[in-house]
Amino acid sequence: MKKVSSTNLVYAFSSSMSPVLEVASGDQIVFETIDALGGQIKFEGDVINLDFSKVNPATGPVFIKGAMPGNTLKVKILKIDLAEEGVIVCEEGFGVFPELVKGFKAKMLRIKDGFVRFDKLSIPANPMIGVIGVAPENGHFTTGTAYKHGGNMDTKYVKTGSAVYLPIFQPGACLALGDVHAAMADGEVCVSACEVCANVTVEVELINYEIEWPLIETESGFFIVVSMGTVEEALKEVTYQAVKFLSRKLNLSMNSAYMLASLVVDIQISQLVDPNKTVRAYIPKYLFDGKGEIM
Amino acid sequence: MKKVSSTNLVYAFSSSMSPVLEVASGDQIVFETIDALGGQIKFEGDVINLDFSKVNPATGPVFIKGAMPGNTLKVKILKIDLAEEGVIVCEEGFGVFPELVKGFKAKMLRIKDGFVRFDKLSIPANPMIGVIGVAPENGHFTTGTAYKHGGNMDTKYVKTGSAVYLPIFQPGACLALGDVHAAMADGEVCVSACEVCANVTVEVELINYEIEWPLIETESGFFIVVSMGTVEEALKEVTYQAVKFLSRKLNLSMNSAYMLASLVVDIQISQLVDPNKTVRAYIPKYLFDGKGEIM
């Protein structure tokens, strides 16, 4: 199987990226990823001045032959193999409640048998990928930021068994991923999760269809994922996108689709702590007679 | 069983309310409720000038003997019996995406065998109570508004089998409820849900414990429910409340509890369309060794 080692790290998604591997639609790839702190924290008491230039590394990018702007890259998440120890950090001035922390704190977390150990508590692990994205249409987004190209969406449904759909903006797409979490809740309120090194196996596929924002598909439904500067903006945009999706798939007027969304589309929080905030709209598949295509 | 008929409607929760029934802790009560449009819409084509003074009626209030400020009222939802037809409306200038609608639209929705019929679609019903509250500490809140006293929280977990905990601010508490929905999704994006008349059976109980914001208890966890002027403010406050809850129940520093919240507390949207916006923090019970008390 093709593999990208964690010596190939990027700290930004930009419109001109330099691929480190070339694959074809249908290929499987293993990404070796390192934790979101760039491996800088090794011990419980590590109170260090974080080198922010090493935060949120993504492994890649991978060039997918035939990927062209206006099409969509489907990334099926096949497996997430976690390391045995993770770390969570918080820092004064960060998170949903920035006044709550003094200075910088780190806590090491053991991961075993599907649980994350937090003091005497055992938390069910929910392994997921924080950063997954492609080269954007224009400019340069740090890997800590999410937008239409994906990036730091910190969405817990980017997990084994799910498929992530990303709009392709540049030839070859240039897929990179990292920032795996062994456990995270919606909001990621303290600014980080159980940050962990992991090997991630995916299968890529090109889809001849155009999307505007990333989508996640699970067995039961679709999530449209929108990231913008404020949660208010993101909530409005994701609602609009969900209404458009229903209108198109079900051949409804926008007005009817808006009412239907009020009954069946859950508006949810992914993360509230990165430079752009990420929200999602959950659209259940039963509406489409079990037909599971995004088109 | 004690019953409050739908001739007893209030349109505001205020610090001085006039009870229509007196009950004791442990009593069961049936509330006859009418739909959130005040029964003004009877036919699909009804394009009327809504009388807003008749919108969001709540049935009650009920005086609970012995209820004193500083204690908590537990309201167990035992049963929600729906009428056979509901209505959904949207109006220009309302909802998450106010530009999406022109004028006023109403749609009648048949409810049968646990499903709501929307054109050719069958939507699983999720019967829930939109408005449930008590007399507030000060002043006057229209029943369309949610705050610490409860009110129009539009939270889909206020459903059969759940318990709602409300802070008591006035002697007798003065419980009123209404605005039942046969189906609603998180966000309630178009401004309304499947609005329906219903008979709601509850059991009330006084708890000698003080809470600041409403709580909902389900089999698996607690939701802290916060409603404020903007979703940003509400998200920050609900995060703080969840961290305080974890800190107290688990005897953790606020700092540790903040990290734990980032791993296990889901921050969720209830509604984005009422005068105050409502969000909730979900705290799973497994953290407390299955001990299901709020105290």
Of the two residues A292 and A106, the one the predictor is more confident about is A106
CB within 8 Å: A186 and B267: yes
Helix spans in B143-230 (H): none
CB within 8 Å: A121 and B287: yes
Q: What are the phi and psi torsion angles at B205 (to 5°)?
A: -150, 140
Average pLDDT over residues A33-55: 84
| Nearest Cα residue in chain B from A283 | B185
Report the C-alpha gap between A201 and A217 in whole angstroms: 17
Give tens-digit pLDDT for B46-101: 667 778 889 999 999 999 999 999 999 999 999 999 999 999 999 999 999 998 88
CB within 8 Å: A107 and B259: yes
DSSP character string of A24-85: -TT-EEEEEE--TTTT---STT------GGGSS-EEEEEEETT--TTSEEEEEEEEEEE-SE
For helices B231-250 and A231-250, what crossing angle results, to 10°? Answer: 110
For the record, the structure tokens of B104 come out as 């006023």
pTM above 0.80, yes or no: yes
| Residue pairs between chains A and B whose CB atoms are closer than 8 Å | 182
Q: Which residue has the tokens 């409502």?
A: B278
Residue B226 has pLDDT above 80, yes or no: yes
pLDDT at position A51, please?
Answer: 84
pLDDT at position A138, please?
Answer: 96
pLDDT at position B290, please?
Answer: 64
| Nearest Cα residue in chain A from B155 | A266
CB < 8 Å to B236, chain A: 96-97
pLDDT at position A74, please?
Answer: 98
CA atoms within 13 A on the CB side of A248: 11
Give tens-digit pLDDT for A224-261: 999 999 999 999 999 999 999 999 999 999 999 999 99
Whether residue B196 contacts residue B35, with contact meaning beta carbons closer than 8 Å, is answered with yes
Report the C-alpha gap between B29 and B129 in whole angstroms: 15
Whether residue A87 contacts residue A108, with contact meaning beta carbons closer than 8 Å, is answered with yes
Please, which pLDDT band fits residue B43 given cuts at 50, 70 and 90? confident
| Nearest Cα residue in chain B from A103 | B255
pLDDT mean across residues, chain B: 95
pLDDT at position B47, please?
Answer: 66
Burial environment of residue A63 by CB neighbours within 10 A (0 to 12, 13 to 18, 19 or more):
buried
Give tens-digit pLDDT for A154-207: 999 999 999 999 999 999 999 999 999 999 999 999 999 999 999 999 999 999
Give tens-digit pLDDT for B229-246: 999 999 999 999 999 999
Give tens-digit pLDDT for B150-193: 999 999 999 999 999 999 999 999 999 999 999 999 999 999 99
- What is the arrangement of strands in the sheet containing B115-118, beginning at the earlier edge strand? B85-91, B104-112, B115-118, B121-124
Q: Residue A267: enclosing H or E segment and its boundaries?
A: strand A266-271
Report the C-alpha gap between A91 and A78 in whole angstroms: 34
- Asked if residue A98 has a cis previous peptide bond (ω within 30° of 0), the answer is no
Report the C-alpha gap between A288 and A175 in whole angstroms: 30
Residue B124 has pLDDT above 70, yes or no: yes
Out of A97, A250, A262, whose CB is closest to B240?
Answer: A97
- Asked if residue B98 has a cis previous peptide bond (ω within 30° of 0), the answer is no
Looking at the complex, report in whole angstroms how far the Cα of residue A253 sits from the nearest Cα belonging to chain B.
11
Whether residue B260 contacts residue A121, with contact meaning beta carbons closer than 8 Å, is answered with yes
pLDDT at position A289, please?
Answer: 83
Domains of chain B: 2-208 (2.60.120.580), 216-288 (3.10.28.20)
pLDDT at position A103, please?
Answer: 87
Please, which pLDDT band fits residue A122 given cuts at 50, 70 and 90? very high
CB within 8 Å: B265 and A187: yes
